Structure 1
């Protein structure tokens, strides 16, 4: 579902920011696409490619480096093969990363995100909404059929309690937490929750191996950038591989893969740092910090050039983008 506006405000004060696509000369701020839709579309495309062999369902059992660039892979169904380049795109608990012995750094936020889809009494107005509560941000993201996808970051105790509520009680708690901004919650879908943490790998690569997406970095969901970062990783690695093949280079060579790591690591670290800073800023209960936070939001809202720069960066319109991303924007 496309959205044109984003409204962010602090539940404990006067601070707010309104991002509007018209003010930055773009028709939209972005799209909210359900994960299952992305997965289905990509899977259907893979099935159409004669050059791709899809091995599913199965899982990685072991991966061992070869003497040259490349890996020997064993699957849990007994199949075995070697590859010039093994790409770990298998999430925050990446088995590929573990087999490669790549360490991670990070910490738990001592929060869980409660997620699900709901329908509200008032229309979502093609707007992404986010209210910062003392326990964490609550986001309502517009979907194409009039529903909203919610991401409610809160304490583990409250998250567990919210999952045990019946639909009516959950709807009442959700509407109250959102200050009835979209009226009553008239329909509640299935709910789930997952723990929140920051995580980043020391290295994205080994000879013949590359990590992308959550296998390399995990970011707080308050800005909804996790999937975007992963897609940029994939597009960048694809470009690096294609350029290497065109130049007659080994796609698993460290010289080739270092280009991918340099390209993406700095950008990902910047986003992780910004999101971590926002999370800590909005979870600080000191009155002085709260006042400065609200002043900062209101000043940002009033500072057109700064606000537009933030929006364009979050939209992926700024920075060193891979060709696939540039083609989508052209």
Structure 2
């Protein structure tokens, strides 16, 4: 039997960010993940990427993590171009508007996890456990985790950082609200005829948004093409040539003709929101607490901010010698981050409603809105600051 103060279930971006942010905290931590945290990166970049904003990059840098991230697997993007395919709406954002070198980076998820893991494994207060959990007994004063190698871990605080289908959330009986976005995301890497020039592009089409995310290779982008289930099904049934032709048309040939560099993967999109994020002995972070539409690329950023906020709350309790597992001391984190998640969910719902379909009134509104915003420097700077997490 091993006892730790905090057991973090899930060794992804969010769970490891939390562990890294607690590096100086006077507590013992176990990070439990069923697969090895560090995995070899393939020669061909993975299409599973995240847009990490400037605020989170600075946070990782201040924690000493960023130096461990393989830099040829993260690519700074310097501008964004967003347009509505079926109206005159068009807007450009540039890092120069904020006096920064970039708006953020497009990072391969595996490269970011590798860097976080290599940093966390050097922490004296962290134990990495690579096992599956066979059984979980969640309690207000102590939780017990039975592993598949017959070992057991007890903890004072159990942290669910185990994703959208969180077993911690289920075992702790946190109720959730969920809604089908009626979109399926198609994810792949593409080779482009023209260089992307480190510009992140997003085209809103009647059946859903298409994001073109610039990778380190100037002629490679990762795509996230969110479509209605019927449209996504038809695209998945296309051969590669027909799919690439449809993609070129949907993107208004912004990067010329394209070809597939990886296979295509699909993911149904669902909004989830845990109505409670904490109780005595248990707390949720990241996708375990909320999932949102990827159209603004803010899912990973929201989860990382959860982790950093929770680390601040736990560190404050430890410094005051308070019980980190009592709900009353977890409430500041829960209140603050639930508010941010609700605002982001509402914003994504609003964008999705406004940019869905061919309704002529909505087309006029979004066309005028995008065109007007592009001319209003102050409003544009506010959008850029929000995208950068500043």
When normalised by structure 1's length, the TM-score is 0.91
Are 1:242 and 2:315 matched, yes or no?
Answer: yes
**1:319-330 to 2 correspondence within 5 Å?**
none
* Secondary structure class of the residue paired with 2:213: strand
Answering whether residue 384 of structure 2 is matched by residue 311 of structure 1, we say yes
RMSD: 1.5
1:171–1:188: 8 Å Cα contact kept in structure 2? Answer: no
Cα distance, 1:249 vs structure 2: 1.0
Provide the residue aligned with 2:91 in structure 1. Answer: 17
Q: Kindly indicate whether the alpha-carbon contact (under 8 Å) linking 2:135 and 2:147 is maintained by their aligned counterparts in 1.
A: yes
Is 1:255 aligned to residue 328 of structure 2? yes
Distance (Å, rounded) in 1 between the aligned partners of 2:124 and 2:252? 52
Residue 207 of structure 2 contacts residue 231 of structure 2 at CA under 8 Å; is this kept in 1? Answer: no
Q: Which residue of 2 aligns with 1:164?
A: 237
Secondary structure in 2 matching 1:85: strand
Identify unmatched segments of 5+ residues in structure 2: 1-74
Alpha carbons 2:207, 2:357 under 8 Å: kept: no
User: Is 1:63 matched with 2:137?
Assistant: yes
Structure 2 counterpart of 1:204, from 277, 283, 286: 277
1:239 CA drift (Å): 1.3
What are the equivalent positions in structure 2 for 1:90-101 lying under 5 Å apart?
90-101=162-173
Deviation at 1:56, TM superposition (A): 1.1
Q: Deviations over 1:192-238 (max 9, x none)?
A: 11011211110110111110000001110000000000000111111
SS of equivalent to 2:128: coil
* Alpha-carbon distance, 1:187 to partner: 4.1
8 Å CA contact 1:167, 1:188 repeated in 2? no
1:41 paired residue among 89, 96, 115: 115
1:271 counterpart residue number: 344
Q: Is the 8 A contact 2:136 2:143 kept in 1?
A: no
Match of 1:125 among 169, 176, 197: 197
Which of 263, 269, 272 aligns to 1:190? It is: 263
TM-score (norm. length: structure 2)? 0.78
Helix, strand or coil: the match of 1:210? strand
Q: How many residues align?
A: 315
Q: Deviations over 1:125-148 (max 9, x none)?
A: 110000000000000011112211
